[in-house]
Structure 1
Amino acid sequence: MTQTVTPELRQWIIEQSTAGCMPEAVLEAMVKAGWQPDVAEAALEQTLRDHLQKLGAGRAAAPAPVQAPAQAPAQATALEMATVRVPDIALSGSPRRLDAGDRMVDVIISVTQPRVVVLGGLLSHEECDGLIEASRPRLARSLTVQTATGGEELNPDRTSNGMFFNRGESELVKRIEARIARLVNWPVENGEGIQVLNYKVGAEYKPHYDYFDPAEPGTPTILKRGGQRVGTVVMYLNEPPRGGGTTFPDIGLEVAPVRGNAVFFSYNRPHPGTLTLHGGAPVLEGEKWVATKWMRERVFE
C-alpha cells in the first residue's frame, strides 16, 4: 500500500516539534498511527529540513531579532536539535555545474534523503597525483576512533593504509580545502585535516557511520575538539579496474571510484535514521586511493 504524505501531516510534524516533542517521539506516534516506518522517517526528515530552510530565509530577510529575555530557557527546542545546520551544496534550480571558486565542478547525482551529491571533477588529475605522492612516505595501517575511550585503535573492518595532512599544511591542501568549503558552505576551520587512504586488493571498509556514537563513553572527549561530525567528502584519486566503490546500503546506492570525482553526504544528528550508513567495497583488482574530508559542528582544533 502506498502512503501519501499530505500537507496536513507536514503541518502536524512542525507543530509537534515546535511544541517540544523529540523527533523520536514524533516518529513513534506516526508509526503507531499506521504510517510505515520508512515513510514516516522520510516525511519527518524532509519536513524538518524544509521548515529549517524557510526559517533561514526568513531570518536573512528580517531585521536583527530582539534579545531574548533573561528568563528564556537556554535549552534548544526539539526542532532546532533535529534540524541542526549542516554542510550542504546549493542545488536550487538543478544546476548541472557548480562554481567552486577556482574551477567548475559537475553535479552527477543528487539524492535528497539522505543528502548525497556525487561531484564530477572536484580534483584535477594533477591534484590527485600530488596528494598520492605527498602521502606515500607517511602511510601506516589505518586506525579508527575508539569511542569507548576517545583514543584510536586498529579495526578489522578497516583494512587500509592511511595518513592525515594537517589542515592547510601545503598549498595543494589549502586549495582543496578552500574549494570544498565553498561548495558545501562550511568554514575551512570546521574541517578535520584531509586523510588519504590506500586500499590494496581485498582491502575494504565495512559499512559504518561517520558520526560519533553518543552512547559511547569516549564520545564526550572526542567532541571537545569541534563537536560532532556533520558532513563527509570522499575524493577518488585513482580508478581501480574493479571494485572499490562507496556503498550506501540503506538507499541501494554505490558510487564508482572515478579519478577526480567525489561524493559528499551530510547527517544532521548521530542516528541511523539519517540513512548515512556507508562503506568502501573490497578492491577486486588493482588498488584504490581516496582522500576523505570530515566536517565538524564547530572549529576543529
Structure 2
Amino acid sequence: MQKQANPELEAWILDQVRAGHSPEAVVAPMLDQGWQEQAAIDAVETVVRRHLEEHARGSGVPVPVPVPAPVAWNGPSVLNAGDREVQVLAHLVHPQVVVFGGLLSHEECDGLVELSRGRLARSSTVNLNTGADEVHAARTSQGVFLRRGENALVARIEARIAALLEWPVENGEAMQVLRYGVGAEYQPHHDYFDPDRPGVGRILARGGQRVASVVMYLNTPTRGGATTFPDVRFEAAAVKGNAVFFSYDRPHPMTATLHAGAPVLEGEKWVATKWLRERAHA
C-alpha cells in the first residue's frame, strides 16, 4: 500500500525545508521508512507547494506557479541541451539566476546578428495600461522580433532552450534580438506583467504570465553592458555565446528579479532574448 503524508510528516517536511536542507536530503529518510521514491518526491512537493499557496493567500500576494528549474543545488556543471552541452558557470538560488556558458556557438551568434541587422527599429515595451507596444525612454536599444521557427537557425536555438529548461517550445514568445550602442541601456525593470494594470488581461489571454527569461549574448562588448540584478547586487557579464537565465514564480517584487541592461561604455552589445510563458503562447 502506498504511504500517505500525515500531519506529523508534513510538519517535519516543512521544518527540513525551513532549515535549508536540499530536496534529496528531505526525501532520503522517507525512503528509509519504506516510501517509494516518486511517491516521496510527490509528497514533499505537494506539502511545500500547499504551504506556499496558503502563505501567499494569507499575505495577500500572488500564489506561486511552476517555473523552469534547470539547475539543482550543487548539481552537474555541464547540462545536456539536446544538440549541445552547456556549462553552468554560476547559480544563484534566490532569485533563481543561472549563467550558462556556451549556450550558442559563435557561428550561431553571428548568424542571429546578420539575420537581424537590416531589420532593426527602436525597441519598444508593453504599455500595461493599454496592452500596446510603445517606445519608452528607459529602453534605448534597437531591436527586431524573429518569429518562432522563422528559419532553421532560430528553430534550432528554440529547441535547444526547450531541452535545456524542460519547457515547451510553444510556451516561448518570439525571440527578440537587440543592439545596444555606446550609452544605450535598459533601466531596472521586471519582465512579468503586473496583473493589476488594465491592459494586462488581453496579454495574459495569450499564454498566461511570463515565468522566465533567457538573455543570450551575441557578442562581447569592449566595456560595459552587463545584465544586473540590483536587489541582490549580482551581475552577469556579456560574453559572446553565454546566456543568463532567471525565473519568477509570481508577478511580484518578492521574486527579486528586478534587472537591467547596464549601459554599454565602449563598443556595442547584441543580445537575443527569449521570454517563456505558463502555457502555449499564440
Give the C-alpha shift of residue 272 in structure 1. 0.2
Task: Give yes or no for the alignment of 1:176 onto 2:157.
Answer: yes
Distance 1:297 1:185 in 2: 13
**Out of 185, 197, 205, which is 2:186 matched to?**
205
Give the C-alpha shift of residue 94 in structure 1. 1.7
Distance 1:61 1:12 in 2: 15
Gap change, CA 1:277 and 1:11, over 3 Å in 2 = farther
Residue 288 of structure 1 corresponds to 269
CA contact (8 A) 2:211 2:250 kept: yes
Residue 300 of structure 1 corresponds to 281
Give the C-alpha shift of residue 191 in structure 1. 0.3
**Out of 249, 255, 260, which is 2:241 matched to?**
260
Among all aligned residue pairs of Structure 1 and Structure 2, give the percentage whose two residues are the same amino acid. 59
Provide runs of 4+ in structure 1 moved above 4 Å: 10-15, 59-62
Distance 2:103 2:55 in 1: 34
CA contact (8 A) 2:53 2:64 kept: no
Give the C-alpha shift of residue 169 in structure 1. 0.9
Distance 1:225 1:59 in 2: 35
- The within-5 A match list for 1:120-269 is 120-269=101-250
Q: Which letter does structure 2 place at the counterpart of 1:257?
A: A
Residue 59 of structure 2 corresponds to none
- The within-5 A match list for 1:81-100 is 82-91=63-72, 94-100=75-81
Residue 274 of structure 1 corresponds to 255
Give the C-alpha shift of residue 58 in structure 1. 3.2
Residue 49 of structure 2 corresponds to none
Give the C-alpha shift of residue 78 in structure 1. 3.7
Give the C-alpha shift of residue 14 in structure 1. 5.5
Q: Which letter does structure 2 place at the counterpart of 1:182?
A: A
CA contact (8 A) 2:140 2:180 kept: yes
Please give the secondary structure, in 2, of the residue aligned with 1:216. coil
Please give the secondary structure, in 2, of the residue aligned with 1:138. coil
Please give the secondary structure, in 1, of the residue aligned with 2:254. helix
Distance 1:209 1:247 in 2: 12
Please give the secondary structure, in 2, of the residue aligned with 1:132. helix
Write out per-residue CA displacement over residues 182-225 of structure 1, whole angstroms, 9 at most, x where no aligned residue.
Answer: 11110000000110000000000001000001111001111011
Residue 46 of structure 2 corresponds to none
**Out of 96, 113, 121, which is 2:94 matched to?**
113
Gap change, CA 1:209 and 1:61, over 3 Å in 2 = closer
Give the C-alpha shift of residue 60 in structure 1. 7.4
Residue 73 of structure 1 corresponds to none
Instruction: Provide TM-score, normalisation by structure 2.
Output: 0.81
Gap regions ≥5 residues in structure 1: 1-7, 16-41, 63-75
Please give the secondary structure, in 2, of the residue aligned with 1:82. coil
Q: Which letter does structure 1 place at the counterpart of 2:121?
A: A
Distance 1:43 1:241 in 2: 43
Write out per-residue CA displacement over residues 24-51 of structure 1, whole angstroms, 9 at most, x where no aligned residue.
Answer: xxxxxxxxxxxxxxxxxx969x89x969
Gap change, CA 1:78 and 1:125, over 3 Å in 2 = same
Distance 1:268 1:11 in 2: 24
Please give the secondary structure, in 2, of the residue aligned with 1:300. coil
CA contact (8 A) 2:217 2:271 kept: yes
- The within-5 A match list for 1:13-92 is 57-58=38-39, 78=54, 82-91=63-72
Gap regions ≥5 residues in structure 2: 1-7, 28-36, 44-51, 57-61
Give the C-alpha shift of residue 158 in structure 1. 0.2
**What's the Cα RMSD here?**
3.0
Instruction: Name the count of aligned residue pairs.
Output: 250
Instruction: Provide TM-score, normalisation by structure 1.
Output: 0.76
Please give the secondary structure, in 1, of the residue aligned with 2:118. helix
Write out per-residue CA displacement over residues 136-175 of structure 1, whole angstroms, 9 at most, x where no aligned residue.
Answer: 1211000001100111111100000000011011100010
Distance 1:110 1:280 in 2: 19
